[in-house]
Chains A and B, each alone.
Chain A
Amino acid sequence: MTFRDFLGHAQKFLDEAESLPEGLAETALMRYYCASLVFSWIALEAFVNDMMGDFAALPVGLFSLHERAFLEEKAVEFVVKGPDLGQFSLSGRREFHRVDEKIMFLIAKFGKGTTIDKGSTWWQKFEASKDKRNKIVHPRKDEPVDIAAQDARDALDVACEVIRVISRSVWGKEADL
């Protein structure tokens, strides 16, 4: 599935919630909102990971070791045996990074001078939506999951907006959503 499929699922869950009969319990509606919000974030992550994959597919040597490790989400290790003894190299161990870090990297490295303004509207909305997503995917009993229709709509808007910002910055053209 591509990021577009996931965006489609997010939209579909929102549409379905809106077509449900009125007076339905809030918990019933929240299932749809949560699903929609999570699909929006999956879409964004799919897009970002695929773009990282495009650069990771390029020949070794084009990027520094740390950049290569970041692109492939692998750890850098200090080699203590074998022919590369005493050097740093890419280990087989996975080292995952947060989606916001990947966005920062993609724009800083391939954005041709564009930078992220953390005070900008899109970044602020991104952070707010990320907090909502974290409440769903990392639930705690003392932090109730309270997701409304607007949160799901915001997440979808944020995913689309961030995808547009990254594609414009890296490819020089907006992704066709």
Chain B
Amino acid sequence: MITAWSYVAGLLQGDAQRLKVHLRVPNPAKGAPDPLNAVEMSRFKHDEDPQTYRGLGTRSALKDRQRMAQVFLARSKDAGATLDKKLLNKAVSQVVGVKALQKGYTT
């Protein structure tokens, strides 16, 4: 979580507006008591994940760091964005999609 957050902070140094959003604590998602929405993150599982996957932000493997970095990047695009299920789904979909493309595709 922290490595992904700090990586994105570095990445956004050239974009003051998005960096400002990134450095600000987001409002909690609807129904969530905390800004990071820990419950939704812990419930998260993509179809690609093994059944034993414990959710977003719980491990520091490459896959998890990539996903969290994309979550923070997605959030930084919109000052009003919250870390809700929709944002988490989209961010992880983007990571999975890019990784599949990286392995090859037909033009």
Interface residues of A (CB under 8 A from B): 2-4, 47, 50-51, 53-58, 62, 108-113, 167, 170-173, 175-176
Contacts and interface: CB of A to CB of B under 8 A. Distances in A.
B101 interface: yes
**Interface bin, chain B:** 10 to 19
Nearest to A172: B103
29 contacts: A2-B47, A3-B47, A47-B47, A51-B47, A53-B93, A54-B93, A54-B94, A54-B96, A54-B100, A55-B97, A55-B100, A55-B101, A56-B93, A57-B93, A57-B97, A58-B97, A109-B106, A110-B104, A110-B105, A112-B104, A112-B105, A167-B48, A170-B100, A171-B96, A172-B103, A173-B48, A175-B47, A175-B48, A176-B51
B50 A176 contact: yes
Interface string B78-107: 000000000000100110111011011110
Nearest to A111: B106
Contacts of B94: 54, 57-58
B45 interface: yes
B105 A109 contact: yes
B99 to A, nearest CB: 8
Given A57-B97, A176-B51, A113 B45 contact: no
Chain A interface main SS type: helix
A167 B99 CA distance: 13
Contact of B49 (A55, A58, A170, A176): A176
Given A51-B47, A175-B48, A176-B50, A112 B103 contact: yes
Interface in B29-43: none
A8 B11 CA distance: 42
A57 B51 contact: no
Nearest to B53: A176
B101 A110 contact: yes
A54 B49 contact: no
A50 B46 CA distance: 9
Given A108-B106, A173-B48, A175-B47, 13 more contacts: A3-B47, A54-B93, A54-B94, A54-B100, A55-B97, A55-B101, A109-B105, A109-B106, A110-B104, A112-B103, A170-B100, A171-B100, A176-B50
Given A58-B98, A110-B100, A171 B48 contact: yes
